[in-house]
């Protein structure tokens, strides 16, 4: 069984097509890089796959459950790290996690485990208000891991973080995939996507432009051996921006 299967997934907002009939599949234990410029529809795709948003048409299954008709069964099987740092800031990290542990009906010992996993044990009793961006990001990951989900959605998990923290978070993500967790990753860091993802999809204006392993994409579309994933990303996506630049 595949971890994620999307078939002709489409979403319109007020007549504008944000996601335009995308189809793809993600294998269990795979880190799947979903890469696109700002406004390409990445977050909308994640919102659909996590059951937060209804597709206008098309279907998808995540962890074997339909995102529309089996949403309630789907929810305990997915973890989501949102683009925004949506934590209860007046509460401590531990209180945040205990609250979600109760919602997911996890034992409290799990809170200590995930705190240790993201390296926040020492600061667990501090209010989130006092946390740095990097600590908040690690806490978001801890929250998403509490219930040991089959599929983890990460929406730009290293955005705005210094290289040390970003590296630490990448280490966590790689470890999760090694443990068998499927990771759906969106990021603007092409090096990060290249380093972590088994396969990547370039996504632009609501459509998947290409989808393959980073190595194959470089071989097929690269101009030379030194072509990076970032070069390919610039080459294959952002057509609107390129056109605007040319007009200037």
Partner 1 sequence: MNTLRDTLYFAWTIGTKDILDAVKHKSSRANIMIMVVMVVFFYWFGTLRPFDRNVSVVLYDEGNTRLAFEPVILGDGAKYSFREATSLPEMQRMMAHQNLGLVVPADLDQILSVGGTPLLRGYVFWVDRTKAAEREARYSQAFTEMLGQTVKVAIGPNIVIPQADVDGMPATVAFQMVYFVFSTALLLIPHLMLEEKQTRTLDALLTSPVGSGQVVLGKALAGLFYVLVIGGLAMALFSPYIVHWGLAVATFLGYALLAVALGLLVGSLISSMKQLGFWMVALMLLLVIPPLFYLESNLKAGIRIVLTWLPSSALASLFRYSCSTGATWAQLLPNLAIVTASIGLVFGLVFWRVQRSDR
In the complex, least distance from residue 99 CB atom to partner 1, rounded to whole angstroms: 5
Q: Are 80 and 89 in contact (CB under 8 A)?
A: no
Closest separation between CB of residue 175 and partner 1, Å? Answer: 23
- Give least dist CB 232 to partner 1, A: 32
Which residues contact partner 1 by CB under 8 A?
Answer: 50-54, 72, 75-76, 78, 80, 82, 84, 86-91, 99-100, 102-105, 143
Nearer to partner 1, 84 or 245 (CB): 84
Closest distance to partner 1 from the beta carbon of 193 (Å): 23
Strands of the chain, DSSP E: 4-13, 16-26, 31-35, 57-62, 65-66, 78-81, 151-155, 182-186, 199-204, 207-212
In degrees, to the nearest 5, what angle opens at C-alpha 83 toward C-alphas 85 and 21? 155
CA distance 164 to 233: 24
- C-alpha angle 129-152-101 in degrees, rounded to nearest 5: 55
**CB nearer to partner 1: pick between 17 and 75:** 75
Annotate 218-240 with DSSP letters as a single string. HHHH-SSTT--HHHHHHHHS-HH
In angstroms, give the least distance from the CB of 235 to partner 1.
Answer: 34
* Smaller CB separation from partner 1, 104 or 221: 104
Q: Which CB sits closer to partner 1, 105 or 164?
A: 105
Query: Considering beta carbons, is residue 141 or 210 the nearer one to partner 1?
Result: 141
Between 86 and 239, CB nearer to partner 1? 86
Shortest spacing between CB 103 and partner 1, in angstroms? 5
Tell me how far apart the alpha carbons of residues 229 and 222 are, in angstroms, rounded to a whole number.
9
Structure tokens at 26: 């993600």
Q: Is 125 helix (H, G, I), strand (E, B) or coil?
A: coil
């Amino acid at each position: 069984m595949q971890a994620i299967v999307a078939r002709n997934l489409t979403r319109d907002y007020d007549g504008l097509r944000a996601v335009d009939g995308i189809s793809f599949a993600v294998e269990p234990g795979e880190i799947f890089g979903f890469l696109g410029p700002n406004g390409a529809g990445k977050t909308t795709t994640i919102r659909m796959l996590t059951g937060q948003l209804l597709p206008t048409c098309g279907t998808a299954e995540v962890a074997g459950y339909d995102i529309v008709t089996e949403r309630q069964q789907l929810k305990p099987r997915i973890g989501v790290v949102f683009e925004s740092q949506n934590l209860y800031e007046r509460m401590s990290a531990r209180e945040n996690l205990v609250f979600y542990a109760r919602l997911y009906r996890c034992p409290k010992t799990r809170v200590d485990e995930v705190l240790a996993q993201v390296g926040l044990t020492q600061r667990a009793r501090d209010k989130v208000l006092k946390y740095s961006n990097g600590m908040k990001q690690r806490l978001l990951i801890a929250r998403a891991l509490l219930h040991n989900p089959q599929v983890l959605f990460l929406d730009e998990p290293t955005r705005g973080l210094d290289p040390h923290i970003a590296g630490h978070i990448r280490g966590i993500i790689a470890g999760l995939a090694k443990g068998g967790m499927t990771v759906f990753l969106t990021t603007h860091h092409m090096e990060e996507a290249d380093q972590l993802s088994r396969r990547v999809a370039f996504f632009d204006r609501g459509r998947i432009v290409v989808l393959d392993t980073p190595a194959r994409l470089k071989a097929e579309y690269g101009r030379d051996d030194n072509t990076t994933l970032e070069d390919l990303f610039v080459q294959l996506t952002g057509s609107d921006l390129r056109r605007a630049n040319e007009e200037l």
